[in-house]
Amino acid sequence: MGFVTDEVRARAEKYTGDELCREKTKEFLKEVDMPNGLLPLKDIEEVGYDRETGVVWLKQKKSITHKFESIGKLVSYGTEVTAVVEVGKIKKLTGVKAKELLIWVTLNELVLEQPTSSGKINFRTPTGLSRTFPVTAFVVPEVEKPAVAKEAIAN
């Protein structure tokens, strides 16, 4: 985890448990204006976020491959995903690869080209290659939590 030092870990907000980690992942993505479906991880064991440096890490039980249906792209997420985040940008990304034709290419930076829900997001590789897709391809509709009736609270 290279830049996830003991100092960063000590300072960071840390969460464990799949459900809470998924919620916190969506929260930090929203905080940096990135689409909420960008990290569709499963069985997450730990999420950490150091707001001071922007360092984020996510650990999941096993690697997964996710297909973003609307753009027909496969993306592989390793057991550890790390990054440095700022508004509209995820940089120094590790643990994420995308399938291009017949090969898997490492992604190391995601940048919003037009920071709106109708904008574009650019995926960059360490070699300088990049692809741009609509932000909407990575947005998952939010499920509203049902309102708790006052009667249920009183009981």
What string of pLDDT tens digits covers the 155 residues of the chain?
578 888 988 999 999 999 999 999 999 999 999 999 999 999 999 999 999 999 999 999 999 999 999 999 999 999 999 999 999 999 999 999 999 989 999 999 999 987 666 789 999 999 999 999 999 999 988 766 555 544 555 55
What is the Cα 90 distance to its own chain's centre?
9
User: Which of 133, 59, 55, 54 shows the shortest CA–CA distance to 98?
Assistant: 133
> Domain coordinates of the chain in residue numbers?
6-154
Global pTM reads 0.85
Facing residues of 122 across strands?
111, 132
Which pLDDT value is given to residue 38? 93
Distances from the Cα of 112 to the Cαs of 8, 116, 119, 129, 132, in angstroms? 26, 9, 7, 16, 9
CA dist 114 and 117 (Å) reads 9
Check: CB of residue 37 under 8 Å from CB of residue 138.
Answer: yes
The structure tokens listed for 105 are 């290419």
Predicted pLDDT at 64: 96
CATH domain 6-154 topology: at5g01610, DUF538 DOMAIN (2.30.240)
Residue 101's Cα: distance from chain center in Å? Answer: 23
CA–CA separation, 35 vs 5, rounded Å?
A: 27
DSSP annotation of 37 reads: T
137 alpha carbon, distance to own chain's centre: 14
pLDDT score of 145: 57
By the 8 A CB rule, do 77 and 67 touch?
A: no
pLDDT value for 115: 60
Locate 102 and state its tokens. 């017949």
Q: How far apart are CA 36 and CA 145, in angstroms?
A: 17
